[in-house]
């Protein structure tokens, strides 16, 4: 697992009641602009369908967190779901009033 994923996972676990699950996926298939190029579209989607997109589809109530811009786009295009950057998730939870 890349080092930045470990940091994101650890950070998300700081949110009370968060149930963090990591999707075991090597690459979303976009790799920057790779997946946007017509010549690479099929390969890009095949990579995403190996584990990432099926995992997102199988968790309809989960908040999906993806740090990479291209990963968030791939998730949106492949599942219709919005993945959020970790900073957005943290900001949303920091804005919630603390339980008494």
What pLDDT score does 82 carry? 96
Looking at 1-96, list the stretches that DSSP marks H as alpha helix, in order from N- to C-terminal side.
3-12, 41-50, 52-57, 69-79, 86-95
What's the predicted TM-score (pTM) here?
A: 0.81
What pLDDT score does 6 carry? 57
Q: Where are the domains of the chain?
A: 3-95
Q: How many CA atoms lie within 13 A of 33 on its CB side?
A: 1
What pLDDT score does 14 carry? 85
pLDDT digits (tens, 9 = 90+) for 7-38: 888 889 888 888 998 888 878 888 877 877 88
């Amino acid at each position: 697992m890349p080092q930045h994923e470990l940091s994101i996972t650890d950070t998300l676990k700081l949110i009370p009641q968060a149930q963090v699950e990591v999707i075991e996926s090597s690459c979303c298939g976009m790799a920057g602009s790779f997946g946007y190029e017509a010549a690479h579209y099929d390969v890009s989607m095949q990579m995403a369908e190996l584990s990432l997109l099926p995992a997102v589809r199988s968790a309809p109530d989960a908040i999906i967190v993806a740090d990479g811009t291209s990963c968030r786009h791939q998730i949106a295009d492949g599942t219709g779901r919005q993945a959020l950057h970790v900073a957005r998730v943290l900001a949303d939870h920091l804005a919630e009033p603390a339980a008494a």
